[in-house]
Structure 1
Amino acid sequence: MLQEAFFFSFFKAFFIAFGVLVGGSMLGGFAAFITNKPALNEILELSRNLRIWAIIAAIGGTFDTLYSLEKGFMDGDTKVLFKQFLLILSALWGAQVGYSLISWFTQGD
């Protein structure tokens, strides 16, 4: 049961980071289009700026993760440390995949 919950959280972190980045960038590009600004440039710039926020949103804020890391360090529970590291890595990967997709879409970088 615990293993299922971890894999669910692992994939959830990836897709939340991916969705925040892609959705926020696309909606921001739509707003740029409405206000007569270059939409593709704005989408690419927003995707650069939203990466850290997508990661934070995916791991559920910083306090739960920091508490789990503290528990892992102070109690010597390496399993908790490893799981938190994998969740953060999953969120980083989701944000990077979203940024790469948008960069390819806008022909930026």
Structure 2
Amino acid sequence: MGNKFYVQAILDFFIAFGVVLGGSMLAGMAALFLWRPPAETVLDIAGRIKIWAVVVAIGGSIDPLRVIEANVMVGYLSPAVQQIGYILCAFLGAHLATELVVWMCRNAG
């Protein structure tokens, strides 16, 4: 369980981090083409796609929540705790990417 858990948790972290960072940076490029303020657009998009980055990282479906429900109902807490750990790692990655975007935009101008 240990090694597989850590591998998946690290993957979830970096997938969520990449979704927020990549999506917001590409939105900033699009803002340049549309003559909109890039920093404002990047900040807006980073905040709006944070939750979607978590969803993408954990598999893009409701299955992790079903795993939590099914295992808790029959008394198996280990798989449920594992899924919650994956969700927390993905959220941490998305949140850190959002904070990085905020820091870059505040220090850029």
* Cα displacement string for residues 10-43 of structure 1 (whole angstroms, at most 9, x for unaligned residues): 0011001100000000001100011111111100
Is 1:95 the counterpart of 2:98 in the alignment? no
Write the distance in 2 (CA, Å) between the matches of 1:102 and 1:16: 16
Write the distance in 2 (CA, Å) between the matches of 1:93 and 1:81: 18
Structure 1: state its 5+ residue gaps.
Answer: none
TM-score (norm 1): 0.92
Q: Which residue does the alignment assign to 1:10?
A: 9
**How many Å apart are 1:102 and its aligned residue?**
0.2
TM-score (norm 2): 0.92
Matched ranges for 1:63-102 at <5 A? 63-102=62-101
Write the distance in 2 (CA, Å) between the matches of 1:7 and 1:85: 13
Is 1:54 the counterpart of 2:53 in the alignment? yes
Moved over 3 A (4+): none
RMSD: 1.3
Q: Which residue does the alignment assign to 1:35?
A: 34
* Cα displacement string for residues 34-65 of structure 1 (whole angstroms, at most 9, x for unaligned residues): 11111111000000101110011011123220
Write the distance in 1 (CA, Å) between the matches of 2:65 and 2:22: 27
